[in-house]
Amino acid sequence: MNAADLGLPVDVPSTALFTDQYELTMLQAALRSGTADRRSVFEVFTRRLPDGRRYGVVAGTGRVLDAVENFRFDAGVLGFLRDRGIVDESTIQWLASYRFGGDIWGYPEGEVYFPGSPILRVEGSFAECVLLETVILSILNHDSAIAAAASRMSTAAGGRGLIEMGARRTHELSAVASARAAYVGGFGSTSDLAAGFRYAIPTVGTSAHAFTLLHDSERDAFRAQVDSLGRGTTLLVDTYDVAEAVRSAVEIAGPELGAVRIDSGDLLLVAHRVRQQLDELGAANTKIVVTSDLDEYAIASLAAAPVDAYGVGTQLVTGSGHPTCSMVYKLVARARSADPRAPLEPVAKKSTGGKTSVGGRKWAARRADAEGVAEAEVIGTQTVPPELVDRQLLVELVKGGEIVAREPLDAARERHVAALAGLPMSALQLSKGEPVLPTEYV
C-alpha cells in the first residue's frame, strides 16, 4: 500500500503541470520551427551560495527522479491545455505520448556543492528536456535549501539529537519534503506522520500545552500521559511553573521518566536548573529536550547547556533565512540538427548583470591535497585529467529514460556525513564566509 492508495495528498498522479506555461509555448514554437528534436544538454547550477554560506547541500534528487517518472500528460491535463488554448492541437498530440527518454547525470543526493557546480545534467532532445525545467528547479531549490540549514544545525548540535517539527509552519506538501531534506542534512526524526509514512523517517511526539490545559491540574495531565504512553514518555514542563512541573513529573513517572521538554524562557538558564533538579530527584537518566524558535545560532549558544535534543520548526523549513538556493536550469550545449550524430556545440547566455553562464557539457571533480582534504571544485568540458578521473562527482541517474540510481534515503544521509568530513574544517564554521572551496574551470 502506498500514499495514493490511502488518498493522501502526498502522491500526485501527474507532475506535468508543475511547470510554467512558457515551457509549453517554447515546445510549440520549436515543433513548428523543426528544432524540437535537436540534441540538447541542460545543466542545473547556482552562480553563488546564499550570503555567508560556505557550502551547499544537494537534496531532493530522489524526488526529482519520481517527478520525471510521473511527468505524464493524461486526458484531464490535456483537456485543460486544450480548453485554455495554451498550446495548439498538434502540440497536444505530441504531449499525449510524452515520456522522457534521455539521460540524467547529477551530484548524488547528500553531496555538497559550490558556485558553478553542475548539480544536474539533463540530456536528450530539446523538447523532452525543456519541459522538465520548472519541476526540477522547484524540488532542488527547496530541498537543498532545507538540507543546507539542517546541515548547519547538525554541526551546531555537535552530535545531540535533532527533531524536525516544522509541519505547521509551511505548506502541507512542502512539510513532507522538508522533513525528508532535513533527514538528509542530519536530523534524526520528524513530528510529521506523512513524512514518516512516505519516507520511513522515524517519527516522534507526545503532547502540547493544550493537553495540560485540558486537565484540572498539571499532575492530572502528567498522570494521564504516563498511564497512556509509559514512563519513558516526554513531559512538557513549562506550562505553569517549571520547577514544580519537574517535581511532579518525577514523582509520577519515577526515575524512569524518558525526558522533559522546555519550550520557553531562557533555555540556557532553565536547562541548567532542570538538569540539577532532575539529578537531585534521582532522575539522572531523564533527558532534556528544548524547542522554541531555534536556529543554528541558538543551538550553538546552547552548546554548554545540559541539553540532549533540539526540536526545530520555523527556521528549518524556511532554510534559516535562505528558503531557496537560486539554482537555474540552462541550455549549455545543442546540436545544429536533429541528426543524432550531429556534434554538440556549447551555448551560453552572455548578457550583463551577473547572469552569464559557461557553455559546454561539463564534468566536475573535487581535487584533494596530500592529506586527502578537498581543496578545489574543478569543472571542465574537455577530457578529464587522469588525476581527477577517480574523483568525479556526477553519477548516472537516468539512462534512456529509465531510472538507474534509486537508493534508500539513509544512503544520502550517510553520504552527506562523508562529504562534510572531506572538506576543510572551516566549512563547519557558522560565521559568515566565502565558499570553503574555490571553483576552477579547466
Look at phi and psi of residue 98 and say left if phi exceeds 0, alpha if psi is from -120 to 50, else beta: beta
Residues 6+ apart with CB under 8 A from 145: 50, 181, 319, 322, 323, 324, 325
In the prediction, which pLDDT does 349 show? 85
In the prediction, which pLDDT does 11 show? 52
Q: Please identify every stretch of the chain with a pLDDT value under 70, giving residue numbers as ranges.
A: 1-13, 352-353
Q: What beta strand segments (E) does 369-417 contain?
A: 374-380, 395-399, 402-403
| Alpha-carbon span 42 to 228, nearest angstrom | 55
Tens of pLDDT, residue by residue over 144-200, are 999 999 999 999 999 999 999 999 999 999 999 999 999 999 999 999 999 999 999
| Alpha-carbon span 393 to 364, nearest angstrom | 6
Residues 73/160, Cβ–Cβ less than 8 Å? no
In the prediction, which pLDDT does 356 show? 77
Q: Give the three-class secondary structure for 41.
A: strand
Residues 6+ apart with CB under 8 A from 331: 40, 41, 42, 126, 130, 347
Cell numbers describing residue 418: 562523508
In the prediction, which pLDDT does 149 show? 98
Closest to 152 (Cα-Cα) out of 292, 47, 290, 299: 299
Q: Which long-range contacts (CB under 8 A, 24 or more apart) does 219-222 make?
A: 219/248, 219/252, 222/248, 222/249, 222/252, 222/253
| Alpha-carbon span 299 to 296, nearest angstrom | 5
Closest to 394 (Cα-Cα) out of 407, 386, 384: 384
Question: How many CB atoms neighbour CB 5 within 10 A?
Answer: 8
75-84 helix and 89-96 helix, angle to the nearest 10 degrees: 170
Give the DSSP per-residue string, 89-117.
Answer: HHHHHHHHT----SEEEEPPTT-EE-TT-
Cell numbers describing residue 11: 502522491
Helix, strand and coil in the chain, % to nearest 5: 40, 20, 40
In the prediction, which pLDDT does 13 show? 65
Residues 6+ apart with CB under 8 A from 339: none
| Alpha-carbon span 127 to 71, nearest angstrom | 13
Question: How many CB atoms neighbour CB 171 within 10 A?
Answer: 11
In this structure, the strands spanning 39-46 and 259-262 are unpaired
Q: Where are the alpha helices (DSSP H) in 292-366?
A: 296-301, 314-317
The alpha-carbon radius of gyration of the chain (Å, integer) is: 25
| Alpha-carbon span 57 to 176, nearest angstrom | 18
Q: Provide the Cα torsion 48, 50, 56, 58; round to 10°.
A: -90
The angle at the Cα of 237, spanning 234 to 241, to the nearest 5 degrees, equals: 165
Cell numbers describing residue 268: 540556557
